[in-house]
Amino acid sequence: MTIPRESDYCAPNPDADFTGSEPPPSPPLPNLPFGCSRSFEWGNLIAMDRLDYPTAHAVSHTIAEHFRREVKVAGIRADIPDAATIERIINAAFWASLRREEGRPPTISLAYLPPAGSALLVERPLPLDPVTLTKLAPAVERPGVHLGVWNNGAGGGLAVWGATRLIPPLCFVLEVIEPGLLVIKHRRADPDGKFANVAVLEGDQVKIVDAEGTLASECPDFVSTLLGFDPASGSADNVLLPLALSMRAHHHGGSLLVVPHGSDAWRKSIVSVPYQVAPPFSKLRDGASKDAIDAIGGLTAVDGAVILNDRWDVLAFGAKLGRTESGPFVEQVLVREPIRGHTPVKVHASELGGTRHLSAAQFIHEQRDSLALVASQDGRFTVFGWSQRARMVHAYRVEALLL
């Protein structure tokens, strides 16, 4: 691949009207691809709309092959884009993510599908370019609203035809999360479930989700759910998934433990429970409401761990974890990331991160029929489970699946 020159992406604007000797400050740039120097942060990005984003070309064929394979396995009809179309959509979305509308970066979701009569249609299709996407972003920034993208016909290229909430299974969706951060995903069979992530692009960093390899690692059911597979305990999708999203959203960090119902063995690994819930809070069962999910997600921001059983009864929060007097001490943990090309690595438990991570690993080492979810303030999210095959704690870094 030819590496673009610095001047291909960034340059100071000689026509800027500066009133002082120094240029005015500007927001920091994201991780720009190959060769964009931060020495020009005060200048304008020029000609972004007309330049290629190298990562788009690098991943487009892999993503196109993924969608072809998924459609074949599912045995359904789906309108999937080819590699060239995927590259064009990624290019437009990436450069749009670096722009501002009323001082705010755009958050956009693009769905590749033909116009439908039940959707909101514009009279004349709009060009798929960064300027158009940035202008439309405020209208579609709410969750679940997507800009529809399709071929305009007669050599007109790709165009935005309107907005929709109805997305068919395996429809190609690209979401702009923040400047320079894009997620490619598709809807699963459940219309109300979280989309299955396919790839995460951040500047020149690419993470392709490796579902098959992760499933072969004896991963917990919750990780299977995040990968787009329905484990035997399907209710995990209705409870743990929105809880994990809520935990990550409050940015305080937090811990959540799932213990077997009908057993108090987990108490042996708890130093104290300052806030016990009596009677147990049972409103998470049978499809929890958003209010209930957010209420419990908020409890994870309290110092200590939230404890609920595998029937989704909330038992306590603020629980302080600690090793039992005679219990085994966790030494090594196998860290995995469900990303293609990732090599699992054994690390000493003290190298996992902060106290939350070490405490969660120790808890699972003792309570091997339990599950621990840990959110960090910086957005990292780790799922701890016991592997019978490896006879050790596995730590799955799954933040790429939660975007």
pLDDT in tens, 232-282: 544 555 789 889 999 999 999 999 999 999 999 999 999 999 999 999 998
Residue 80 shares a structural domain with residue 187: yes
Beta pairing, strands 305-309 & 254-259: parallel
Residue 67 shares a structural domain with residue 177: yes
pLDDT in the model for residue 381: 96
Q: Is 375 domain-assigned?
A: yes
Give me the domain span that covers residue 118: 50-208
Domain end call among 183, 208, 233: 208
pLDDT in the model for residue 37: 34
Task: Round to whole Å and give the CA distance between 399 and 327.
Answer: 31
Q: Is 8 domain-assigned?
A: no
For residue 201, which of 54, 332, 73 has the smallest C-alpha distance?
Answer: 54
Task: Round to whole Å and give the CA distance between 275 and 226.
Answer: 30
**CA 106 to the chain's CA centroid:** 17
Residues in the chain: 403
Domain end call among 208, 226, 241: 208
The contacts of residue 22 (CB under 8 Å, 6+ apart) are none
pLDDT in the model for residue 176: 96
pLDDT in the model for residue 35: 40
Residue 252 shares a structural domain with residue 386: yes
Burial class for 10, CB neighbours closer than 10 Å (0-12, 13-18, 19+): buried
Q: Is 22 domain-assigned?
A: no
Residue 225 shares a structural domain with residue 199: no
Average pLDDT, the chain: 84
Beta pairing, strands 120-127 & 158-164: antiparallel
Residue 223 shares a structural domain with residue 315: yes
- Give the type of residue at 235: S
Q: Is 56 domain-assigned?
A: yes
Domain end call among 193, 208, 223: 208
Low-confidence stretches of the chain (pLDDT beneath 50): 1-29, 34-49, 233-234
Residue 368 shares a structural domain with residue 242: yes
Residue 202 shares a structural domain with residue 228: no
Give the global pTM. Answer: 0.80
What DSSP state is assigned to residue 19?
S
Domains held by the chain: number: 2
Q: Is 34 domain-assigned?
A: no
Residue 82 shares a structural domain with residue 152: yes
Task: Round to whole Å and give the CA distance between 161 and 167.
Answer: 14
pLDDT in the model for residue 216: 87
Residue 228 shares a structural domain with residue 168: no
Residue 187 shares a structural domain with residue 297: no
Cβ atoms of 315 and 278 closer than 8 Å: no
Task: Round to whole Å and give the CA distance between 11 and 339.
Answer: 35
Q: Is 185 domain-assigned?
A: yes
Q: Is 302 domain-assigned?
A: yes
Number of H helices, E strands in the chain: 10, 18
Q: Is 117 domain-assigned?
A: yes
Burial class for 344, CB neighbours closer than 10 Å (0-12, 13-18, 19+): middle
Phi-psi region of 56 (alpha: psi -120 to 50; beta: other; left: phi over 0): alpha
Residue 240 shares a structural domain with residue 369: yes
> Using a CB cutoff of 8 Å and minimum separation of 24, what contacts does 115-118 make?
115/148, 115/150, 115/161, 115/162, 116/148, 116/164, 116/166, 118/164, 118/166
pLDDT in the model for residue 192: 63
